[in-house]
Amino acid sequence: MQDGGLHVRGLAVARNGQPILTDLGFTLAPGRALAVTGPNGIGKSSLLRALAGLLPPAAGEVALRLGRDDDRALGERLHYLGHGNGAKAVLTAGTNLRFLRRWGGGGGLSPAEALEAVGLGACIDIPLGFLSAGQRRRVAGLLVADRPLWLLDEPATALDRDAEAMLTDLLTRHLSSGGLAVLALHAPLALPMAQLRLSPA
Amino acid sequence: MRGALWALFRREVAVARRLGGGGLTGVSFMLALVIVVPFAVGPDLNLLRRIGPAMLWIAALLATLLGLDRLFQADLEDGSLDALRLGGVPLELVVVVKCAAHWCTTGLPLLLVTPVFGLLFALDGAALAGVAASLAVGTPALTLVGAIGAALTAGFRRGGLLLAVLTVPLAIPVLIFGVAAAGAASPGAIVPFLMPFLVLCGLSLLALAGAPFAAAAALRLMGE
């Protein structure tokens, strides 16, 4: 039996029959973060979607072993934040988070607390469509449902400097409580992270 | 899981209401069609009475298709679909709940206004009841069949037309038996009410059994 953490072995990802990633393997221990870097179009987003199980891998396996709650499927133990935010523009920040909390299994902060934590406490009753791109980016379900693995696809997009510091802070807290994170990044975050650089074959 | 599905249903209804679309768009569309027809075919009450049920059914079919192209497209665009797939609830159930919410915001209002709109076709009480009953059991099938088309075209910017082309052939059996049941109470009907009505119920149940799986499969492909 291997140690706990995220284990990826022999992962291959193809899109439209074209192989994008082949034979990718790594292990990420609890409390650690992995930064996936590389040029545009190299397959960072595809890798994250494959890890989330949203894109069925052509080969290989992804396993998350944490001792606790191992009976839940992988998809129920991770947060995936893609280019979209997963929230509805016509609903208020509070309504969105209340739904994401329910849908994600809960266990995290309340919507009001989560918005306070990202500096948007005053926006709870404002429809997301009226918020700026950077503010919308902060209204994600990461904090309202407690899930150990965070898969973040360029999470700092549209964030200003303060919000980026907030993100680093949230990530640090998540990691120190035994969580894991895989991030697709272009600009480095001020956080100790393992590096995975994807480069053309 | 039941709590999560109920939360999803409430969110879907809230989104439909916020968009100002849903029910009101469908009802307005139906109203426009129903008002135009008597002007087009002339004031022959017997003729109107004969074509009334069919016209109401066509209006209901088109009104249902009207808002359906955004059923999954909006979720695909804003990333909600990914979140929905990671909730631990089978995607097939997500489709069923979304269809139920869509029907409640689009099909149900159509159903409620049909008796009023039927008056424009000089339908009597029995005919109105026949149309309403057939629409009540038939429109869920339209929504479910339309959901397959909505899932297949979710990735296309202007998928509305393609959605109609894909869905209308599948909706034809529903339309045939729906109009047969609706017209059975009108003068000159050749079939009794119950036979087409039961077939219509069967079609709705068949759609409920099959469409969620087809739509979910299409949505999974869309995520790749």
| B87-144 pLDDT tens trace | 889 999 999 999 999 999 999 999 999 999 999 898 888 889 999 999 999 999 999 9
Q: With contacts defined as CB-CB under 8 Å, which chain A residues touch B84?
A: 103
CA distance B185 to B199: 16
Please name the amino acid found at residue A28: L
Q: What is the pLDDT along chain A (201 residues), one digit of tens a residue?
A: 457 889 999 999 988 888 888 899 999 999 999 999 999 888 899 999 999 999 988 899 999 888 765 677 888 889 999 888 888 989 999 999 999 999 988 888 999 999 998 888 898 999 998 999 888 888 878 889 989 999 999 988 888 888 899 999 999 999 999 899 999 998 888 888 888 888 876
Summary mean pLDDT of chain B:
90
Which of residues 12 through 41 in chain A touch B, CB cutoff 8 A?
Answer: 15
The set of residues, in sequence order, having a beta carbon less than 8 Å from that of B220 and lying 6+ positions away, is: B85, B91
Predicted local distance difference test score (pLDDT) of residue A1: 43
Pick from A12, A91, A94: which is nearest to A55 by CA?
A12
B167-219 pLDDT tens trace? 999 999 999 999 999 888 766 667 788 899 999 999 999 999 999 999 999 99
Choose among A15, A83, A103: nearest Cβ to B79: A83
pLDDT band at residue B21, thresholds of 50, 70 and 90?
low
**Cβ-defined contact of A86 to B14 (cutoff 8 Å):** no
Which tokens sit at B22? 């849903």
Predicted local distance difference test score (pLDDT) of residue A137: 87
CA distance A135 to B64: 35
Residue B6 has pLDDT above 90, yes or no: yes
Taken in order B203, B208, B211, B213, is the CA torsion positive or negative?
Answer: negative
Sheet (strand A18-28) strand order: A18-28, A5-15, A59-65
Q: With contacts defined as CB-CB under 8 Å, which chain A residues touch B11?
A: 88, 91, 95, 99
Pick from A68, A60, A69, A72: which is nearest to A26 by CA?
A60
Please name the amino acid found at residue B201: C
DSSP A148: S
Which tokens sit at B170? 């599948």
Q: B122 near B52, Cβ under 8 Å?
A: yes
B57-66 pLDDT tens trace? 999 999 998 8
* pTM: predicted TM-score of the whole model, two decimal places: 0.91
**Cβ-defined contact of A80 to B224 (cutoff 8 Å):** no
A76 contacts chain B (CB < 8 A): yes
Predicted local distance difference test score (pLDDT) of residue B43: 86
Q: With contacts defined as CB-CB under 8 Å, which chain A residues touch B85?
A: 54, 75
Buried b (16+ CB within 10 A) or exposed e, B6-18: ebbbebbbbbbeb
